[in-house]
Structures are given as structure tokens and as C-alpha cells.
Structure 1
């Protein structure tokens, strides 16, 4: 008897984890609408986003086992450098363990006190949405090259701002006031 193929868009997390399931694949950036709307596009090579999930049950003394998903995803997108405004590659690499609990209030309480990500266990979950959420969290807040490929253009106004004009020494003015009439004249 053939095993029924697992649909990542309607993943039964409980059954997947109970079976110690493993699933992997790839999605083109265009299928991840929120991510593709946040970047300039796929890196010039146009590689898709590669992902993998593994289910794991962790035993708990005196209770039912904890439900965990290990989510990994990799890809490279093109973003706008905030220094030179040119395109720059941004490598995305997700490696997260996510714990699932029975209800939303328990998930909220545990998520606030633990470092792990905690979500409510639902009958069906869209794995693509979860992977996209994790990739969005990996985007740099302020993308910029380590060293921009082209020197930044400077306008004459910026040059003047960067080089401070010499200011008169305030103590020189005080020294002039302290001099008695006729002193310092030749």
C-alpha cells in the first residue's frame, strides 16, 4: 500500500511529528509573495528557496511528549543597499526549532517565558507560510554592503558639510579685551 503524499500547504503537524516525518522541497521566490514584496527579487542566479522540516516528539516525565518541528531554509535574495542604493545579495539561512502546544493561551504564555518559538497546534498548517515567516525574520533590518562596489557620489554641499570651516578661537577675543589701551601697538 502506497503512503499518501504529504501536502506542505495542509500539514497535519501532530500526525507528521508522531510519524517522525521528514519533508523537503523548494519554492521559487515568486510563490512567497510577502518575501518577494520585501526584496528587489531573487539573486541574479534566480535560485529557489530550499527548505526542510523534521518532526520530533520529546518525552516528558509524567506527561505527553512535546511536539517539535525543526525548520531549515536557505536562499539568496537581492536587496537595496541603504548606503549606495544599489542591489546587494542577502543570504538567508533559517535553522529553527518550533514547539507546538495544545492551545493559544498556553502558546502565548510559554513563548513569553522561553527562548524557543512556541505555536498553537492546529489540525492543518500551511508550511509554506511558516517557512516564509521565518525567512522574513532573517532579512537584514538595514541592508548594506560591507564596502560598496562604487564610491559614493558627493555633492559640493555635502563636501562643505563634511569639512568644518575654521572658527575663531573664543579665547583670542578674550585676550583682546584684557589688553590695556596702548599695549601691543607698535
Structure 2
């Protein structure tokens, strides 16, 4: 019998897991639009390395329980984000390695996800693995990307409202209030 061909963008996950099938590949980073949009504008995703990924389906049969559908997802990407200190591009390595359990309904997924450390999702008729991988990569991005040591010195910021340029000192914020009180207005 000829092995079944699986397409990651329209994956019949139940059959994929039942057959213990595996897929792997790479996509241009620019083809993952939301990931590309999260990058630094000065370093477009077209110049990034391709996103490498692997999927492995599995059916687990726990003792005394119903069969469980699992998907092992791994992916790695090198993305250019905006450093929050110097505002220049900073490259970040983003890797995911997750086991996801799939159940029949959203209600069951929500209940199990709340009670378990495992990631639990409702089993779709067809899974878009590209979208799932992109979601997982986005969740793994650092909240505050920054260089360990910024390549350019940081510019000194000037507080336009509070610095007296001639003296270089901040005026006392209560000086105006004191002047008003002395001026006789209650």
C-alpha cells in the first residue's frame, strides 16, 4: 500500500497521528506574515533564515482510558526584532518544542487545559500546521527584545518640560505653587 501524503496546511490530524506519521520542512520567514510583521522594519523578513519545522503524530493509549491524539511540534527561527534600548535590529533565536494533545470538543479542551500542564486543543477537521507553528513562534518571542550590549551608544534623552537649559538643573515643581500662595490668592 502506498504511503499517504500529508500536506501541512491541510493536515488530517486524526489520520496523521493514527499512522504515526512525520513531516518536516522549511518555509521562508516572509511567508509567515504575522511573524514577519513583528520584526524590525530595518531588517525585512525576506533576509531572515528559513523557518525549520517538524511534526510527529502519535496516538497514546493510557491504561483504562480512551486513545489520545498527540502532535509533537518543533520549529526554529532566527528573527530580527527591534531592540527596546537602542531601537536597532537585534537577532533572536526562537525555538519551540511542544507536545499538544487534541480532544473532540472545545469544552473538553478548555476543561483539560485548565486542569493539566499539557497544551490541549480541540481536534479540527483539518489543521493548518503553518498557522499553528506561526502561533507558537509568536508566543515564544521575547517580550522585550534587546542586545546584550547595544552596538551604538544610547542617545541621552532630554526632558523637554523639566530641564532649565542654562543652569542644567530641574526647577522645583512646587516653586510656582509657592509663588501663587505668596501672591495673596488664598
Contact 1:77–1:91 (CA under 8 A) maintained in structure 2: yes
1:23 and 1:52 in contact (8 A); partners too: yes
Q: Which residue of structure 1 aligns with residue 131 of structure 2?
A: 129
- Structure 1 residues without counterparts, runs of 5 or longer: 166-186
Pairs aligned (count): 162
**Residue 118 (str. 1) matches residue 112 (str. 2):** no
Task: Give the superposition deviation at 1:153.
Answer: 1.7
**Poorly superposed stretches of 4+, deviation over 6 Å:** none
SS in 2 for 1:50: strand
Aligned to 2:144: 142
Distance of aligned partners of 1:8 and 1:155 in 2 relative to their CA distance in 1, 3 Å threshold: closer
Question: How big is the alpha-carbon RMSD for the aligned residues of Structure 1 and Structure 2?
Answer: 2.1
**Long gaps (5+) in structure 2:** 170-186
2: distance between equivalents of 1:14 and 1:96? 18
Task: Give me the whole-angstrom Cα distance separating, in 1, the residues matched to 2:33 and 2:134.
Answer: 9
Alpha-carbon shift at residue 42 of structure 1 (Å): 3.2
- TM-score with structure 2 length normalisation? 0.80
Aligned to 1:26: 26
Question: Residues 75 and 91 of structure 1 are in contact (CA less than 8 Å); yes or no, is this contact kept in structure 2?
Answer: yes
TM-score, with structure 1 as normaliser: 0.80
Pick which of 35-44 and 133-142 moved more.
35-44
Could you say if the C-alpha distance between residues 4 and 156 of structure 1 is closer, same or farther in structure 2, counting changes exceeding 3 Å?
closer
SS in 2 for 1:108: helix
